[in-house]
């Protein structure tokens, strides 16, 4: 097994350093040999592309995804998730076989918003570069603010206060906003602010989100790869024009919504892997998100 870095000779595999942020992992089967490519960006150029196998093996993998079930929360105007049994049992030929059919909205449960969702002519889900969905992560804890005000809008000042204590948000980071609302999942009333469904429910939504100016600041000043949140929308529940969506998606910054277990993450020093279904023409889709937390944390 080899580690290969762009523009460098193959290096013996030593897998994940706590100080290295691997951006993209691709597995290629070649004649029975699994070659693992790690595109380490600046680390390659600086010659710091060695990875510690032990550190990788001791890293924690944290699932930031809600399971898709009958009570999965979807946008109030969308249909609920359904897993429809097609067959389960012995076949006439004597072997066991089981199969289901999925019925679901693109924007329900833990999912991704592709740029086309709020940007005319934007990238569809299959066109979002995989590099946008894998990278170094930071967790912005605003649980206290959101506990006091369920309509809280995360501001530029929140990010600057975070940086004053923890250092600058890295360029090209994946920013995860922890409002604490994941603890309410899957109870609709505390999570969304209403039990209503249908168009009339939209004006009754009350949950935190990201201020449009803060979203634009992340894009302009920190060149973020993606932004995620543990609520039903990156815009707060009372939004009318969804300007935060527009600020991010118009700049090809995908959005991850309905994340779970962000409280298990450190504030920084971890990596994020967020891989959706590759749906041609999709405006979004179900997303499996994991964080890789090195043993130092």
Q: What is the pLDDT of residue 296?
A: 78
Mark residue 71 as left, alpha or beta (left: phi above 0; alpha: psi -120 to 50; beta: remaining). Answer: alpha
Q: How is domain 82-293 classified at the CATH fold level? A: Glucose Oxidase; domain 1 (3.50.30)
Torsion (CA) 130, 134, 138, 141 in degrees, nearest 10: 70
Helix, strand or coil for residue 115?
Answer: helix
Question: Closest Cα partner for 168 from 142, 145, 136?
Answer: 136
Residue limits of CATH 3.50.30.50 in the chain:
82-293
Q: How far from 265 is each of 121, 140, 158, 272, 296, CA to CA, in Å?
A: 35, 10, 18, 11, 12
Residues in the chain: 297
Neighbouring CB atoms inside 10 A of 64's CB total: 26
The pLDDT, as a whole number, for residue 52 is 63
- Give the number of other CB atoms < 10 A from CB of residue 83: 12
Q: Which residues of the chain have pLDDT under 70?
A: 1-54, 297
Q: Which residue has the tokens 């706590």?
A: 18
Cα separation, 180 vs 190, whole angstroms: 11
DSSP at 283: S
pLDDT tens-digit map of 178-227:
999 999 999 999 999 999 999 999 999 999 999 999 999 999 999 999 99
């Amino acid at each position: 097994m080899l580690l290969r870095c762009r523009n460098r000779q193959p290096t013996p595999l030593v897998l994940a350093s706590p100080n290295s942020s691997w951006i993209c992992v691709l597995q290629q089967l070649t004649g029975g040999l699994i070659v693992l490519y790690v595109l380490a960006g600046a680390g390659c150029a600086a010659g710091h592309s060695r990875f510690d196998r032990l550190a990788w093996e001791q890293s924690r993998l944290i699932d930031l995804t809600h399971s898709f079930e009958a009570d999965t929360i979807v946008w109030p105007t969308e249909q609920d998730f359904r897993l429809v049994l097609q067959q389960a049992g012995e076949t006439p030929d004597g072997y066991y076989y089981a199969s289901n059919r999925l019925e679901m909205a693109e924007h329900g449960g833990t999912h991704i918003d592709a740029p086309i969702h709020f940007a005319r002519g934007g990238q569809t889900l299959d066109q979002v570069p995989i590099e946008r969905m894998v990278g170094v992560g930071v967790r912005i804890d605003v649980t206290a603010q959101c506990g006091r005000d369920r309509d809280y809008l995360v501001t530029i000042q929140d990010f600057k206060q975070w940086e004053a204590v923890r250092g600058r948000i890295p360029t090209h980071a994946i920013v995860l906003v922890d409002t604490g609302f994941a603890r309410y999942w899957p109870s609709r009333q505390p999570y969304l602010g209403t039990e209503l469904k249908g168009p009339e429910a939209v004006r009754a939504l009350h949950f935190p989100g990201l201020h449009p100016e803060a979203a634009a600041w992340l894009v302009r000043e920190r060149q973020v790869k993606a932004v995620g949140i543990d609520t039903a929308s990156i815009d707060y529940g009372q939004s009318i024009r969804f300007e935060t969506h527009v600020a991010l998606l118009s700049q090809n910054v995908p959005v991850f919504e309905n994340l779970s277990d962000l409280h298990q993450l450190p504030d920084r020093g971890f990596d994020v892997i967020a891989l959706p279904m590759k749906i041609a023409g999709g405006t979004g889709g179900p997303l499996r998100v994991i964080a890789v937390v090195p043993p130092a944390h």
